[in-house]
A and B are shown apart, each in its own frame.
Chain A
Amino acid sequence: MFLSNDVQGNTEMLERHIVQPADADHPTILSTEDLHVYYGKKEAISEGDLRFASNQITALIGPSGSGKSTFLRSLNRMNDRIATVTGRIMYRGVDINQPSIDVYEMRRRVGMVFQRPNPFAKSIYDNIAFALRLRGTTDKHELDEIVETSLKQAALWNQVKDDLNKSALALSGGQAQRLCIARAIAVKPDILLLDEPASALDPVSTSQLEDTLLELKQNYSIIIVTHNMQQAGRISEYTAFFNQGRVLEYDTTSHIFTNPQVQITSDYVSGNFG
């Protein structure tokens, strides 16, 4: 391994290779500029300036501990109180990484789904409706409608339409995760951040979830962290490869998988890592 690398000559491979998306049909909706994230004194993200195309799926890949979750959680300020995030996060021309931003309003535009499904200890209906009620949507008719469309978009409606008043804690893992997606899209975000949403799911649920995401792409811009290379290949247009807190390569997914320009990326996507 070591030898063959030397023979091929590392010099041909680049150290970093960043190609920001440039597709007039899918303008940039979110971008990071000069982003650094610190846990205490430890710098967890040192190079992570990316642009994200609207209505596309962008995959974040990379070895464990490379900073994917840290990066993703910074995008909707879930790292407030946990980490120090410096630099700018531009969302529709506004830097959302400044103190004056209304974080709560911002998080309704930039929703998030987590690795472990986390339905609330409420009914399926209330899981979706209660955040809306808190923000003033009290009309029963309107709520019913939002609940139904959200569940349909998350491909869960047919399975739960007769059980809306049952506790969400009785759902299976895959159903619970799709409920969490329904809950996230019910508040009508622009961007959906997902951190390994399928890692706790079986293959069937995973494939349903992927179909759901492909469907959602029409209305939402999606950024997804995944450890599953096939998954990144199946659903994403763009892929960013993280390593040790730096984005080493960013390009269209097909380039990353068929013609990586950075040695470590190549090793990682071909499974020869480490």
Chain B
Amino acid sequence: MMNPKTQNKVAIGTLYGVAGLVVLILLALLGYILVSGLPQLSWHFLTAPAKAFLKGGGVGVQLYNSFYLLILAMLISFPIALGAAIYLYEYAKDNWVTTTIRTAIEILSSLPSVVVGLFGFLFFVVKLRLGFSILSGAFALTFFNLPLLTRSIEDSLRTIDTTQREGGLALGLSRWETVTRVILPAAVPSILTGVILSAGRVFGEAAALIYTAGQSAPALDFTDWNPFNISSPLNPMRPAETLAVHIWKINSEGIMPDAKAISSGSSAVLVLAILLFNFAARYLGKRLYKRLTSA
């Protein structure tokens, strides 16, 4: 039998070992992607359109599409998620209705994204005749994003102490006033962190988009901002391959001579963007919290 002290040491040692291994694997992966991808990056690569058969294509259109889709998906899913979270946490009583909703959210959030994509294809692309388009993609991403975002906002509301709600009510504020004037402002830093982190997930999503936003990226005319023109960047009805889908596609059927390099470069851009989202989330969350608590 080991004495408790040795036991403790062994346990801590094992935990450190496991944690270290995880960190090592992550760093190796990240390192590999960046080392093989960073050399490909250039202004030309980030802005030029892709080429199907020739060397020297870029990912400009894909990069733009990724951001456009992300913004649209967030614009649609954030208000819904916010409303749902407020209803679930601030208003709904704990009964079978809310239990059902919560279970549904739980199940939806663990749905493989390729299933969300196929559902999006059948429903938005085919049934609603939206075709392979930004709009179909944005709706699919909304379905993909909604459950997790709702849960993350609900968790943010949960971190605000009940005494804050009672404080509002005791001043003669209504429940709605208490939620909007006391609880939400206090929860903003943590809600924002959740939103940015989920933006990272959405940005890197491919499976949900392959059959909804499509796999082609028609050239865009960045001087044409009329959303009804087919080459306008704002047109929500055009097919729009994103960066993540582009990576998937090059690796499965890319025939340009520099496919490998482009795939590496795109992966590096994707990883950098997601890292940026994560750091931004932390930084902004912390700063906002500081501004609320000191200043």
- Whether the pair B170, A76 counts as a contact (CB closer than 8 A) is yes
> For the complex, is B185 an interface residue (Cβ under 8 Å from A)?
yes
Provide the residues of chain A in CB contact with B169, threshold 8 Å: 78, 107
- Whether the pair B177, A134 counts as a contact (CB closer than 8 A) is yes
Q: A78-B166, A169-B292 are in contact. Are A108 and B172 (CB under 8 A)?
A: yes
Please report which residues of chain A, range 163-194, place their CB below 8 angstroms from some CB of chain B when the two chains form the complex: 165-167, 169-170, 180, 183-184, 187
- Whether the pair B167, A166 counts as a contact (CB closer than 8 A) is no
* Total B residues in contact with A, Cβ cutoff 8 Å: 22
Q: How many A-B pairs with Cβ below 8 Å?
A: 71
| CA gap between A148 and B164 in the complex, in Å | 23
- Whether the pair B171, A184 counts as a contact (CB closer than 8 A) is yes
Say which residue of A78, A122, A169 sits within 8 Å of B170 (CB atoms).
A78
- Whether the pair B186, A121 counts as a contact (CB closer than 8 A) is yes
Please report which residues of chain B, range 241-295, place their CB below 8 angstroms from some CB of chain A when the two chains form the complex: 291-295
Q: A118-B161, A118-B164 are in contact. Are A111 and B171 (CB under 8 A)?
A: yes
Closest A-chain residue to B293, C-beta based?
A169
| CA gap between A135 and B171 in the complex, in Å | 11
| CA gap between A107 and B168 in the complex, in Å | 10
- Whether the pair B172, A105 counts as a contact (CB closer than 8 A) is yes
- Whether the pair B294, A184 counts as a contact (CB closer than 8 A) is no
Q: A130-B181, A131-B172, A134-B181 are in contact. Are A121 and B292 (CB under 8 A)?
A: yes
> For the complex, is B173 an interface residue (Cβ under 8 Å from A)?
yes
> For the complex, is B95 an interface residue (Cβ under 8 Å from A)?
no
Q: A120-B182, A167-B292 are in contact. Are A187 and B171 (CB under 8 A)?
A: yes
Q: What's the dominant secondary structure at chain A's contact region?
A: mixed
> For the complex, is A116 an interface residue (Cβ under 8 Å from B)?
yes
> For the complex, is A104 an interface residue (Cβ under 8 Å from B)?
yes
A77 to chain B, nearest CB (A): 9
Provide the residues of chain B in CB contact with A131, threshold 8 Å: 171-173
> For the complex, is A112 an interface residue (Cβ under 8 Å from B)?
yes
- Whether the pair A104, B173 counts as a contact (CB closer than 8 A) is yes
Closest B-chain residue to A132, C-beta based?
B171
Closest A-chain residue to B187, C-beta based?
A121
> For the complex, is A114 an interface residue (Cβ under 8 Å from B)?
yes
Report the interface size class on chain A: 20 to 34
> For the complex, is B174 an interface residue (Cβ under 8 Å from A)?
yes
Closest A-chain residue to B164, C-beta based?
A118
Closest B-chain residue to A109, C-beta based?
B172
> For the complex, is B223 an interface residue (Cβ under 8 Å from A)?
no
Please report which residues of chain A, range 148-174, place their CB below 8 angstroms from some CB of chain B when the two chains form the complex: 165-167, 169-170
> For the complex, is B100 an interface residue (Cβ under 8 Å from A)?
no
Chain A, residues 111-139, CB within 8 Å of chain B (1/0): the string is: 11110101111100000001100110000
Chain B CB within 10 Å, residue with most, of A131, A167, A183:
A131
Closest B-chain residue to A130, C-beta based?
B181
| CA gap between A122 and B173 in the complex, in Å | 16
Provide the residues of chain B in CB contact with A104, threshold 8 Å: 172-174
| CA gap between A228 and B174 in the complex, in Å | 33
Closest A-chain residue to B177, C-beta based?
A134
> For the complex, is B110 an interface residue (Cβ under 8 Å from A)?
no
| CA gap between A107 and B186 in the complex, in Å | 23
Closest A-chain residue to B174, C-beta based?
A104
| CA gap between A180 and B171 in the complex, in Å | 10
Say which residue of B163, B166, B170, B182 sits within 8 Å of A111 (CB atoms).
B170
Provide the residues of chain A in CB contact with B291, threshold 8 Å: 167
| CA gap between A120 and B170 in the complex, in Å | 13
B221 to chain A, nearest CB (A): 47
Q: A104-B174, A108-B172, A131-B172 are in contact. Are A170 and B294 (CB under 8 A)?
A: yes
Provide the residues of chain B in CB contact with A170, threshold 8 Å: 293-294
Closest A-chain residue to B162, C-beta based?
A118
Provide the residues of chain B in CB contact with A166, threshold 8 Å: 294-295
Closest B-chain residue to A81, C-beta based?
B93
| CA gap between A119 and B174 in the complex, in Å | 18
The 5 closest A-B pairs by CB, nearest first: A108-B172, A121-B186, A118-B163, A112-B170, A107-B172
In the assembled complex, 14 residue pairs joining A and B whose CB atoms fall closer than 8 Å, in A order, are A76-B170, A105-B172, A107-B170, A108-B172, A114-B170, A118-B164, A120-B164, A120-B182, A121-B164, A122-B185, A130-B181, A167-B294, A183-B171, A184-B170
* Interface contacts beyond A112-B170, A120-B168, A134-B177: sample of 18 additional A-B pairs, CB < 8 Å, sorted by A: A76-B170, A78-B166, A78-B170, A111-B170, A111-B171, A114-B167, A118-B163, A120-B182, A130-B181, A131-B172, A167-B294, A167-B295, A169-B292, A169-B293, A170-B293, A183-B167, A184-B170, A187-B172
B interface residues (Cβ-Cβ under 8 A, vs A): 161, 163-164, 166-174, 177, 181-182, 185-186, 291-295
